[in-house]
Structure 1
Amino acid sequence: MHTESPPPAAAAGFGRPFAAARFRRPAAALAALLLLAPVGLAHPDARGAALLVAAVAALTAVAALLPWRGGRVTLGPAAVAAAGLSLLLDLCYPGPYRLPAFWLPFEWLALLGLLFRAVRRLPDRWAGPVSALVGLAAVLLPLRFALRTPQGAVAGPVIAVLLSLLPTLGVAGAGLYLRVLDARRERAVARARREQRLEVARGLHDFVAHEITGIVLEAQAGQLPGQEPEETGALLRRLEEAGLRALDSMDEMVGALRDDRSAVGTTRPLGLAELPDLVARFGTTGGPHATLDLTPGTVGLLPAEAQATAYAVVLEALTNVRRHAPGTTGVAVRVAPGPRDSVEVTVSDTGGPSRSRVPLLRRRPGSGGTGLAGLTARAAAHGGTLDAGPQAPSGWRVVCTLPGR
């Protein structure tokens, strides 16, 4: 509770904040000794008051310098204790009025440092009240000297408070600004991690599931009686190729999950230019005959990210044909310019026996069913649309429209 949160650089694994924290404890001890040492030079009659003022200044300096990474006492209670003792001493100081003048600048600087750390590091629930208390102690600290001057004029204390208020507000504003930057950076890191997880999920769904679907279909086809040795050999080669492609995709996904910087940028740049290989491979790995009609010049109409979405739409549609309509007689893929500089991607099949009548690709109940929904969201993110449904007289049709450059 009230712990000081580490900066984002420390959370990311950099060692400089922790290296600096090692010097905080010696610095706090040295500051306390230097503030307590002048007590011996005070007049014997005022030594008790001097010790009291020096002790509060030393405790405030220690609270401002210690790292407070954990333990029973954390930054929040330490700041409250230091500010409370300072305010209490302002009200109840018993000694000569000139005596606090020596320790006052050091205690004031320590309170400003404590205010900066409280504003920037304390949790949201406690940052406001604790920072307000520390700021109040810093603003009112000059009154410990100004209210006890023999003249008793009002102008002196007012000027002292105003002179202390401006730096206090500046320190609080700097801490708040850095706190906002830290929060913005943390949100950016969380957003990047979420996007990375979504990219991994899309890769697993788009590539690995597609290859494994083909492997399962090939394996089930290999169980049919009457297989010739040549057919068996070709089947095994296709299984090997599909398995290697699935392993490559898994390696890319695992590298992204590990946040391996050497794996950044290794994801395959798949787009409209890779559709001929995808469609040709579909017909040779257990799928029905597929044709591709790619209008010349269409590849350059879409940006790279939109091309990746178009490729994923075709891949998902072909995978769904394997899963849900293995008895279809043909699949047609068409990519052509659409209205208003858009590109229209269409995947349609001729239909056939449903999966309930063909015992291929036996799957666990409740699996799948999220591919088209995710692709619809991806198309909408690019300003496009995706529609899927039955077509006349039979079959299924997927149409994705994406805006051009």
Structure 2
Amino acid sequence: MSNPLRSLLEEPRPPDPPVRVWRDWVLLAGVTVVGVLEGVLREDLPLRGLSVALALGLAPLLLWRRTHPLAVVATAFGVTAVVDIVLVASGAPALDMNTMVYLLVLPYSLFRWGSGREAVAGLAIILVPATLSLVVSWTGVADAIGGVAVLLSAFALGWAVRSEHGARERRLEQVKSEERALLARELHDTVAHHVSAIAVQAQAGQALAPTSPSSPLEALAVIEEEASRTLAEMRAMVRVLRNEAPVDYAPQPGVADLGRLAGASPAGPRVDVSVSGDLAALPAAIDAAVFRIAQEAVTNALRHARNATLIDVRVAGDQSTVSLVVRDDGDPGAADPGDEAGFGLTGMAERALLLGGACRAGPCPGRGWAVSATLPRQVSA
């Protein structure tokens, strides 16, 4: 067996899409209207009643083409093959209803949503009525080649869309994994800091015990607090760590470093940074996340906010949460980041979610684009 065929057969079926989507209902309504109009208005339509009944009777299969592509293909092309055989055997004219062209959506759906084995089985099923149709309705080599090309185009389009969708899903998962790994490295830095503090306090307590009886108790209180923080950070780190890459021990930027983002560039909008509220003693993971999300949002705005003059970064803290809003004043609809920056949005949302918060992005009322994030002051264990 050739490698391409083996790969196709072994390929698993992608996750099931929603049972029905509004586009399928619109497609069904359009096919129904066109079929009725052709049945009423077309004067040279052979076997008018049977043609209209077959076209409209098979049309509801479009609603299941995403979840049961092989069953839909087998039903539609099996019925048409049986009808063609009966008509040929009885000497009746072949069906020639233009509305039936919607059946080309089914081969597309087979290769778009079916598994590899379903695609091979469905291809074999489709070849029977397709070959029979060529024989019964032979109009020349050129028409035969054109018909085969159209059918193959439906297969190829379904396969291409499936491959593109799969590549994007894999890229999104890669971005999420990279964000988890980066967050885990930052959490590692925090744990190392806490463990160092515990060691220092323990040494200090031992050294001062002979001269100050209360020193060990004070040291134990600090050690208890540091140990509790360390335990929470370690649990979070274990939850998000996804690879075994070497840990980067470089200090991580935080809220205090947001001023790096401020300023005006020669060819871009000015970046203003405003920090308010209680932002003292933030956990390192939250502190770093605020900077990372703000940095990514500013980068996206600089790249995609058309005709923007200002990017406003506002960070505020209270007793329980830290909020971040990055807003630009670019042209309406012009700051949509598209696929490439969309991966950055995925990373920001993943980082916020892993820390127990949320991150959203979308157009502002009037003009511009905004990224808003809310993070808890404490890392959830």
Q: TM-score, normalised by structure 1?
A: 0.44
Higher Cα radius of gyration: 1
Q: TM-score, normalised by structure 2?
A: 0.46
- Higher relative contact order, chain-length normalized (CA < 8 Å, sep 6+): 2
